Amino acid sequence: MNLAHPTWLFALTLPIILAVLAVVIARFRRSQWQAFAADRLRPILIKRRSPLARWISFSLLLLACIGLVTALTRPHEKAGTREEKILSRNVLIALDLSRSMRVQDVKPDRLSRAKIAIYELLEELPNERVGIIGFAGSAYVYAPLTVDHAAVRQTIEQIDENWATLGGSNLKEAVELAIDTLKKTGQKQNALVIFSDGEKHDGSLDDIASEAKLAGVNILAIGIGTENGDYVPNADFPGNRMIDENGQPVISRLQPEVLRNLAEATSGKYTAAGSGDDIASLVKNAIKELDAFEIEGRQREITVECYQWFLLPAIAFLFASIIIGTRWRGVGKVAAALAIFLMPDPSQADDAKDAARFLSEKNFTASSQIYRKLAKETRSSNLRSRYHLGEGIASLRGGSFKSARSAFSKSLDANNPDVLAEAHLGMANTLFQLGWLELAGSAYPQDPKQTPDMAQFDQIARSRIKKIAEAEDDGEVEKIEALITNWTDAVRHCESAEVQSQNNNAAINNRQMTITYLKRLRELLEEEKEKAQQSCPMPQPGSDGESEPDEGDGDPDENQDGDQPNKDSKSPGDKGDEKRDKKDGSDGKEPKPKEDSGNDKCDKADDPNETPEKRARRILKDSADLEKGPLTPG
């Protein structure tokens, strides 16, 4: 048996230490008891529990610790090896090792950039046979074709320009070596990936390109560097720059034409490392078109895990230790009390059935009373929310809208999304009914055939607005304000119901209907507001806004300032004053309050001289401003 993590065995010292400490502590406590009382008095004075159960529990705990530690070492047995059959292709990588590959026109330099691209290529081709050819003045196979990519990666990490025995850049010899190597595999289609700057190649490449095409070698050329280039570094020259025979620093530039012509001659592809193309994906897609062949891949060891044989007994020992070491003397009372607390009350179950039955029988009053009683008596918050929801539904159907609003409000603290959605929808329906009751004087009809259309709604709303105009006090305006507030809140509760329950058609339809009624009600109020503004007279220049007779004159046609207006063109305010004077029988001899002069009476709420017609128009104007912001869908 082998262990995958043998270092966990050091943890076995912990159970040994615990066992030693337990023995030492037990002896120390025994000596204390012996010093406390004599042997003959000790059984009388002290009632000690038998230590057997305690020692058994402790021993089982130690065994559980040993089993858990052993399981953590992951013991397993070898059951042999297995070779994997995989489909593969031959991919040979030719890496330029000339001095120009140390130019830093790409970061960190050309050679390092090429190595990074090769690492990415190895990740994308896990099942392909990959080999490495390094070339400068001559070419050499540094890693043969293999599926062991770890070995290829190690070779790439170590290779540099110092591995080349001869300077220069003999690309032709590298291609010839690749063709010979790939021919020996016996496969008709293979790939050659060249990483080079394409500079200073020796010999003509036309013949070798034709030979590669005949041999079935597809060349993928990757240009490393930039066309602007940079100085070639060399520590053997002054300034660490290579100098030519004329004493000028040597500048190396990428020669893409050489690599592109070589790739296109073999139906391959060319790209530059700095062009933004994903080189690994480009090569992977290109070699997918080549014929694959089956090879014997990596050998894998077949192992049988054995940790469960230690883990399961350890868990059993742990539970046994807890059970044996527990004093069960007081547990019975606690368990009984807990069972009594959690046991459902059968009377509550019967009452809930009765409430549901009354609701189906349309005995809404009895159903709501039972649900209210159950909500007060239950200890579960979830059940309490459900009972309040039932109470609200029964009250809503029974027409007790205020009771329904209170019940739905209490059910909004539910944790269940379905209950919460129903609570929001019920609250929205209740608030809409309260608003409709205020507008029409009766509940909104539930029968779709009796649902009022917009023409009927206009008739109901205009009639209600007319009552506001004819009212003696401002209480009717407050009722319109409460109506708008209720419908506004109803829309918000419909939106909350849609959030809790997706595709809630009832909430969507109710929300749209309420918004439609709200918009129409606002339009009607705006119309009345415009009528009120048009009927209010504009104050005349140079007047106090109302022609009142001087004290003692009794002539209603005289202006207070002494002006003589046209007697045939009296303002409505003058007529109202004349009617009030006749009604009061004052004969124009009593003094009038002058603090009201100069103000427009259409804008004063407590003017004693205001006529009923003016007062009605003012109330309509004020009620049109009571809409607390228009509701828009969404």
477 pLDDT exceeds 80? no
The pLDDT-based confidence of 482 (bands split at 50, 70, 90) is: confident
Strands, DSSP E only, in 148-289?
190-196, 217-223, 230-231, 251-252, 269-272
Contact 378, 387 (CB under 8 A): yes
Phi, psi (rounded to 5 degrees) for 555: -105, 110
Cα–Cα distance, 532 to 624 (Å, whole number)? 11
∠ CA 417-420-425, rounded to 5°: 125
Cα–Cα distance, 98 to 102 (Å, whole number)? 8
∠ CA 107-109-113, rounded to 5°: 80
DSSP string, 289-302: TSPPEEEEEEEEEE
pLDDT (tens digit per residue) in 516-545: 888 888 888 888 777 777 766 555 554 444
626 pLDDT exceeds 60? no
Residue given tokens 């074709």 in the structure block: 145
Evaluate the omega torsion of the peptide bond into residue 108 and state whether it is cis, within 30 degrees of 0.
yes
- pLDDT value at residue 68: 93
Nearest to 216, CA basis, from 192, 190, 240:
190
Contact 558, 533 (CB under 8 A): no
Residue type, 314: A
Q: How many other CB atoms sit within 10 Å of the CB of residue 485?
A: 16
Q: What integer best gives the mean pLDDT of the chain? A: 78
* Coil, strand or helix at 130: strand
Q: Indicate the pTM of the whole model.
A: 0.41
- Residue 248, H or E segment: none
Residue type, 248: Q
458 pLDDT exceeds 60? yes
Cα–Cα distance, 213 to 208 (Å, whole number)? 9
pLDDT (tens digit per residue) in 169-210: 888 899 999 999 999 988 989 999 999 988 766 666 788 889
593 pLDDT exceeds 50? no
555 pLDDT exceeds 70? no
The pLDDT-based confidence of 610 (bands split at 50, 70, 90) is: low
The pLDDT-based confidence of 45 (bands split at 50, 70, 90) is: low
How do 251-252 and 230-231 pair as beta strands? antiparallel
- pLDDT value at residue 181: 94
- pLDDT value at residue 95: 94
Q: Write out the two tokens for 195.
A: 């990483």
